[in-house]
Structure 1
Amino acid sequence: MSSAKLFDLTGKTAIVTGGGSGLGRVMALALAEAGANVVVCSRRLEVCEKVVQEIEGLGSQAIALALDVTEPASVRQGLDQAISHFGKIDILVNSSGTVYEAPATEMPLEQWRAMMDINVTGTFLMCQAVGKHMIENEYGKIINISSSIGFKGTDPEAVDSIGYTTSKGAVMTLTKDLAVKWGRHGVTVNSIAPGVFQTGMNNPEIPGTLVQKAGPIIASQVPVRRLGEDNDIVGAVLYFASTASDYCTGQILVVDGGLGAK
């Protein structure tokens, strides 16, 4: 098989949660450019519809769905709509996530629960629903977005969110366990662990974000001497979504400019 065909997603259909903004939007566009039909989901339908317009401008097909990953009924309804429209689902990218910063001694329980609910339970519910469909079809590619800070503790002056780091560590373990359980059914489950990117929750134009507070300092510590940019995530998602990764499952691909290697 040629290298071009290894990454060709023509005829495949992908669901991207959190696809209306940030890295979710970037990955949705990348999958569309590779030939996939894309179902763009988030709780905010209007932002998803804008991404659909971008995808259609590329000549690909897409639909927007309002979907709450923490609600089983919403997940089921969204999956039914996606299958009704495109016939099947081949790729799932779980990119929905939230973060709240506070010292561990002061972390509000409701915020802890929100991070666990969206980042962990939401990822599981999507994997569960879409995974069942993929197992029936004996084919599927699941990509869970975790974080490089899910591997270890973080300096509170950088990221002070015990709930976020804990939830992203849980996503990694969820990924590995599902990979072991579902590999025999033709379903691969992998995770991308981004470092600090200048997008989404780290938009430098939003006061209080990590990049806005300490972007230059962090960049100076990254071995490649810069923060992540949109295109830096594209290769990773296309690899895990395509035939190129058929013999790769249960893996965490860190995309952090080498910061975790220090």
Structure 2
Amino acid sequence: MAEVSFDVGLGLDATHVLITGSSGAIGTVLVRAFLAAGAYVSAFDLVHPREPLEHERLQTHQADITDEASLESALESARERYGVITTCVLAAGVDLSYCQHSSLVDMPLKEWQRILNVNLTGTFLTCRAWLRGIKSHATSQSRNISAIIFGSEAGTFGVADCAAYAASKSAIQYGLVKSLARDAVNIHPRCRVNAVAPGPVATKQFSKECEDDPITLWREAQATVALKQAVPLEAVARACLFLASENFAGNMTGQIVPVDSGKSGALMWPEAPLP
């Protein structure tokens, strides 16, 4: 019987990957996933990881994605060590769990500005700095030139008690991704830009929220969710590996990949009103 030849490898070996928000619950798993795939990883975050990982292909940087000088300095340091950053995974942002939850009429302007500054402007600054590096340093032989931007189910379905978060994620995963996908190929013909939009992810924080309010799991990850479960951390990381891989996603750009266990809507009325 003849053997079938078909390359099913990710092809990420020796790729230099930038991961922002690398000390968070998702970011930590992303770092491990890309190291396991053979990549060199530059991990950026405002804070140092609680459980530092030592690896010969990993370097960590303390960087503020809303500070141009801090970001540019960290990117230059990363390039000096591992070369051009071909893959950029933008996981940094204000987490919904740590936003002020209230009606829009009660939201202070400063809170609105804080969320949009980190989630939207910070993503813009990171994309801009990364694309400048691609323009200056990438060659025709460079592979896996890809940005993976973190949106959210909130950008699709909205969040009643935190419109600022939903607005920031919608702007990222629709307006920014769709525009950059068209712009990036003018910088490098193999440059791709996509988004992942996770639903509730099975982090320790989400588990705590479910313990504090038992209806949370049903409302957020079961009632309108086909698989009736929160999203495993590893599932988000695998989606990012797929999008980063030119072997697998080389013809995908400008797309939003929902990693939400099949969520089909927001639950508007979780309990029947009293008569």
TM interval, short-chain normalised: 0.7 to 0.9
Paired residues for 1:81-230 under 5 Å: 81-98=77-94, 99=96, 100=99, 101-136=101-136, 137-138=138-139, 139=142, 140-154=145-159, 156=160, 160-172=161-173, 173-184=175-186, 185=188, 186-199=190-203, 202-205=205-208, 214-221=216-223, 222-230=225-233
Unaligned residue ranges in structure 1 (runs of 5+): none
Shift of 1:260: 2.7
Q: Which has the larger radius of gyration?
A: 2
1:206–1:78: structure 2 CA closer, same or farther, 3 Å change rule? farther
User: Which among 43, 64, 68 is matched to residue 72 of structure 1?
Assistant: 68
Contact 1:135 1:182 (C-alpha < 8 Å) held by counterparts = no
Contact 2:20 2:43 (C-alpha < 8 Å) held by counterparts = yes
Shift of 1:168: 0.1
- Letter of the 1:83 partner, please give it: R
C-alpha distance in 1, partners of 2:211/2:154? 18
Paired residues for 1:35-50 under 5 Å: 35-47=38-50, 50=51
Residue in 2 aligned with 1:25?
28
Residue in 1 aligned with 2:15?
12
Over the aligned positions, Cα root-mean-square deviation in angstroms equals: 2.2
Contact 1:197 1:227 (C-alpha < 8 Å) held by counterparts = yes
1:20–1:195: structure 2 CA closer, same or farther, 3 Å change rule? same
Name the count of aligned residue pairs: 248
Contact 1:16 1:92 (C-alpha < 8 Å) held by counterparts = yes
The structure where helix makes up a greater share of residues is 1
C-alpha distance in 2, partners of 1:72/1:212? 42
Shift of 1:235: 2.2
Deviation per CA, 1:200-242, whole angstroms, max 9, x where unpaired? 7x43236998x87612443331110111111211221011111
Deviation per CA, 1:40-66, whole angstroms, max 9, x where unpaired? 11100244xx3433xx2xxx5101100
C-alpha distance in 1, partners of 2:208/2:72? 36
- Letter of the 2:12 partner, please give it: L
C-alpha distance in 1, partners of 2:182/2:52? 34
Contact 2:157 2:265 (C-alpha < 8 Å) held by counterparts = no
Contact 1:13 1:88 (C-alpha < 8 Å) held by counterparts = yes
TM-score where L is the length of structure 1: 0.87
With 123-132 and 230-239 compared, the bigger mean Cα shift is at 230-239
1:2–1:151: structure 2 CA closer, same or farther, 3 Å change rule? same
- Letter of the 2:239 partner, please give it: A
With 165-174 and 129-138 compared, the bigger mean Cα shift is at 129-138
User: Which among 244, 251, 272 is matched to residue 247 of structure 1?
Assistant: 251
Unaligned residue ranges in structure 2 (runs of 5+): 267-275
Percent identity over the alignment? 26
Residue in 1 aligned with 2:271?
none
3-state SS in 2 of match to 1:40: strand
- Letter of the 2:134 partner, please give it: M
1:62–1:213: structure 2 CA closer, same or farther, 3 Å change rule? farther
